[in-house]
């Protein structure tokens, strides 16, 4: 296993939830105990698990486990840097825009409407209204 320490700690907690060893509530101290991580690493791991919907945060109270053991087995946390995740989402968004454009053209053809039109309007629509 390789990766940031907080990700490794988060993976340990997910496996403990999947095995049934952790259920209901878990404190930051228990996370440290199970993972052998520092306070800051445990806190960051818990934050990732909250972001992933596996734990729920309650100020001044233990974290609540939000998933069943079976759901935890299927959970895969994304440890890629945020910039890589954003780049992938942008590529997916571009692909979706292209797909919608093709669908729009097909619908226009089926409806008997001419495909072309004002180039400036098409450019504005493709750029989300930016000029």
The token pair at 91 is 């590529």
Task: Compute the radius of gyration of the chain from its Cα atoms.
Answer: 23
Nearest-10 Cα torsion for 19, 21, 25, 30: -120
Tens of pLDDT, residue by residue over 1-58, are: 567 898 899 999 999 999 999 989 999 999 999 999 999 999 999 999 998 889 999 8
Domain covering 5-74 assigned CATH 1.10.10.10 in the classification: yes
Q: Can you tell me the distance from the alpha carbon of 97 to that of 33, in angstroms, rounded to the nearest whole number?
A: 47
Q: What are phi and psi of 88, to 5 degrees?
A: -65, -40
Question: Which pLDDT band holds residue 111 (cuts at 50, 70, 90)?
Answer: confident
The token pair at 65 is 């486990």
pLDDT at 72: 85
């Amino acid at each position: 296993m390789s990766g940031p320490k907080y990700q490794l700690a988060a993976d340990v907690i997910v496996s403990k939830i999947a095995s049934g060893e952790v259920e209901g509530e878990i404190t930051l101290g228990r996370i440290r105990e199970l993972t052998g991580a520092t306070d800051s690493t445990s806190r960051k791991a818990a934050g990732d698990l909250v972001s992933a919907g596996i734990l729920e945060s309650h100020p001044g109270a233990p974290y609540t486990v939000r998933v069943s053991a079976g759901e935890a087995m299927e959970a895969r946390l994304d440890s890629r840097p945020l910039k890589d995740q954003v780049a992938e989402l942008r590529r997916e968004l571009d692909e979706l825009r292209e797909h919608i454009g093709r669908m729009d053209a097909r619908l226009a053809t089926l409806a008997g409407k001419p495909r072309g039109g004002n180039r400036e309007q098409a450019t504005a629509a493709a750029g989300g209204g930016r000029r």
